[in-house]
Amino acid sequence: MKRIFLCLVSSLTALVTSAQSAKDTLPDNQLGQVVVTAQFTPTDARQSVSSVRVLNRQTIERRAVASLGELLQAEPNIRITQDPVLGSAVSLNGLRGENLKVLIDGVPVTGRLNGSIDAGQLPMNAIQQVEIIEGAQSLLYGSEASAGVINLVTRKSQLNPLEAEGSAQIESSGIQMYQGRAGARMGKFLLQLSGNTFSFTPQADSALGRDQIWNPKQQQSGRAMLRFNPSRKLDLRVSGGLFREQVDNLGDLRRPQFRPYAFDDYYNTDRADITTQAEGWTKNRLYWQATAGWNRFYRVKNSFRHDFETSQNTLLEGQQDTASADGLLTRFTLSSDVKERAFNFLAGMENYAETATGIRILDTTAGRPGWATGNDLGIFASGRYRIGPQLTMQGGARWTLNQRFGSALTPTLWMLWQPAENLQARFSYANGFRSPGLKELFFNFIDVNHYLVGNTELRPEKSHNIRAEVTHNFRGNDRQAFSARFTAFYNLVYDRIVLAEFAPVQYQYINLDKWQTTGTGLGITWTCDEWLRVRSELVVTGYHNEFAGDSLPRLSWSPDWVNDISMQFLNDRLFLNIWHKYTGRTPYFFEDQGEIIPGESASWHLLNVSAGTGLFKSRFRINAGIKNLAGIRQIRSGSSELGHNSGDRMLPVHWGRTYFVTVTGNIGWAGREK
């Protein structure tokens, strides 16, 4: 209590004196986060022209998250849509997953389900940090980046010549996760290996049948990286990963009195990726990067009739499905980023080729059935000019040549204004471009129960994105720091691609005239010494209403409110972390028998707490806590008007209250360095 009282007193003093003091908000011995996404060279996040949100390794471990989806679920301005079969779909800035590019070390992750990458299929055991950039990034990352970019940056270094670590995590919800990693540095070579196994046997819901809210899931993954540093000016890396998942979608018991049976679906997914990267500095202080990356997605659905008396599974003819996607990226950039120079630049070329296969892919122009290809070639350049010590301007453009839709030019403009060391203002405008995906063009699923077809007449999406951010840091002494951040954004998408019903129970992808989202946010952060950090951020987003008219609003508004309290004691040997997100009600409108009906998805709270300690110089760590204290598993979505119940449904949001414990042990051998 004494320490908290001293922090409060020093905070009041700081706010009074902050107008007379313009210092860095971080303590002198604390370095800023270094980011690589959308930068000329690796850059301190505080000096980046574009705003980058960083979720580091400490956050990943203390929150005991197993996947990217679980990590992002507590972040502001990000929504996670859960589906027991399709997984965790991410939306950002009010835009869906089709407009969000997910990368691993700068290489796109392929294999979208219903337009989105399943964030639950991206484990965190090999990830050093996650970098999030909101707003269109089409200049550097091309199609599918008009909402933003999420880049998973893997581990590429270690302190000791030999290291090994293992961890076990058990949760009362039925999750068991075991992770391990090892690394060896041999002269100028570094070899790192990591592996993960994840098992989820969900708790039974109130229905007590075989068909539960959440499906059983098994995952195994591994990643390897070989790095060669012949000199400080050259870095060569080869890395790759494997991932396997099985989801069991068990059907309800049928005809229990006589020869009972059930229809069961099993979804097996395999992912693989391999990347070769080289980067370095020339004698003229130019920074270059070269990347060649391949990413594969393969998914098989098997449907069986399970007979309980004989325990036999019989394959159901015509109910099987196989789909795959391959992506091949080649990319080269050359840049200058010298602080003494007023002007710096980045130029590059990128080619991304994608292939989709499956029995439901119908491209009549392809050389073989069940096969479709696409290719994007991009040439881009950006220049940054420092106009005195306070103002930096950056602009650029990308020329894209698409195999099917011709060329497009997408310009971008950034501004960073620092009138004082404790005040920063960022502004950006970006033009986005998204060519229709292969599934949206060529998907063909017609049987007794389904009618869903692609549309070869689709037009590419084009968008305008504006984003502004102002950050003010207050600091009056060395004990504490306080910062406030205001954000605002606006997205306007033309020819948005959606799945629409064109006849009773018949669906096709079409272009909408336009779609827009807008929002604003305010976040505050308070730190006291290095033991206490409190963060709170509120973001309110307006979603486009396609039925807007004289009596209906143009936008439907929904808030996100995030709170985070982190405490560290006994020289960081003991920590306590409390994090919370309130997802506000989300209003929408739908058509029912020719009448426009208002509806909404209910609000809900996600509250978590964890505490842990490190012993023997953190070689042994234990972390325990509770996730989802409120125990919310589903929320209601439907009509708010009496008498209209046709749109009512229950949406899964979480697997319920869960108690967890994580035990981690690591060893490191310093050896003899030459």
Domain CATH for 635: 2.40.170.20
The answer to whether residue 60 is domain-embedded is: yes
CA angle, 124 as apex, 119 and 125 as ends, to 5°? 150
Q: Could you give the CA distance from residue 510 to residue 245 in angstroms, rounded to a whole number?
A: 32
Q: Could you give the CA distance from residue 522 to residue 252 in angstroms, rounded to a whole number?
A: 47
- 339-366: pLDDT as tens digits: 889 999 999 999 999 999 998 898 888 8
> Which pLDDT band holds residue 207 (cuts at 50, 70, 90)?
low
Burial of 156 (0-12, 13-18, 19+ CB in 10 A): middle
Bridge partners of 653, per DSSP, are: none
| For residues 391-397, average pLDDT | 96
Burial 46-84 (b: 16+ CB within 10 A, else e): eebbbbbbbbeeebbbbbbbbbbbbbbbbbbbbbbbbbb
The answer to whether residue 334 is domain-embedded is: yes
The answer to whether residue 392 is domain-embedded is: yes
Identify the DSSP state of 656: -
CB 524 within 8 A of CB 484: yes
Q: Which residue has the tokens 């499905």?
A: 321
Contacts of 480 (CB under 8 A, 6+ apart): 7, 10, 11, 14, 526, 527, 528, 529
pLDDT of residue 647: 57
| For residues 232-257, average pLDDT | 94
The answer to whether residue 656 is domain-embedded is: yes
Q: Could you give the CA distance from residue 271 to residue 314 in angstroms, rounded to a whole number?
A: 27
> Which pLDDT band holds residue 553 (cuts at 50, 70, 90)?
confident
Name the more confident of 17 and 259. Answer: 259
| For residues 306-310, average pLDDT | 92
Checking if the pLDDT of 415 tops 90, the result is: yes
pLDDT of residue 475: 72
Residue 67, CB half-sphere, CA atoms under 13 Å: how many?
A: 24
DSSP 535-551: EEEEEEEEEE-TT-SSS
| For residues 469-474, average pLDDT | 94
The answer to whether residue 63 is domain-embedded is: yes
The answer to whether residue 201 is domain-embedded is: yes
Which helix (H) or strand (E) segment is 191 a member of? strand 189-200
- What domain range includes position 367? 2-669
pLDDT of residue 511: 93
The answer to whether residue 674 is domain-embedded is: no
The answer to whether residue 54 is domain-embedded is: yes
Checking if the pLDDT of 41 tops 90, the result is: no
> Chain-wide mean pLDDT for the chain?
89
Give me the number of domains the chain comprises: 1
Identify the DSSP state of 393: E
**% of the chain with per-residue pLDDT over 90:** 68
| For residues 111-130, average pLDDT | 94
- 526-539: pLDDT as tens digits: 999 889 999 999 99
Strands in 649-652's sheet, in edge-to-edge order, are 586-592, 595-601, 634-639, 649-652
pLDDT of residue 344: 95
Strands 148-154 and 100-104: parallel
